[in-house]
Amino acid sequence: MRRIVIIALLVGMAGCADQMLPNDRAAGSIAGNLGVQPGDITIVQRTNDGPTNTNFLVEARGLPGRFVCTINGGNIMTFGLTNGAACHRPGA
């Protein structure tokens, strides 16, 4: 019975990634990687890649083109902690 309750809690909390890693917090990490201010970041698209990575397609004011950025963590498995964003140009 205890195992079922724990599994149910984990599955229920798996959808909390957006709440544990909100876009403004992600923008701060991405801005640090790109060398701009968090207010200069526009998140175009956000997708989850497996249980621990979140990918962002972003534009940064003052920098040409778009960037693909990955943030590891920010979910229930990591208690909301993240590694810094890793960014690159699409296709690079």
pLDDT one-digit tens code per residue, 12-61: 555 554 568 999 999 999 999 999 999 999 999 999 988 889 999 999 99
The pLDDT value given to residue 88 = 96
**Is the torsion defined by CA of 21, 33, 55, 10 positive or negative?**
negative
Domain range spanning residue 27?
2-88
> Domain total for the chain?
1
The pLDDT value given to residue 67 = 98
The pLDDT value given to residue 38 = 96
The pLDDT value given to residue 1 = 67
Would you put residue 10 in left (φ > 0), alpha (ψ -120 to 50) or beta? alpha
Residue 90 CB-half CA count within 13 A: 10
Element (H, E) at 87: strand 86-88
Q: Spell out the residues 6+ positions from residue 9 whose beta carbon is closer than 8 angstroms to its own.
A: none
Instruction: Assign 10 a pLDDT band (cuts: 50, 70, 90).
Output: low
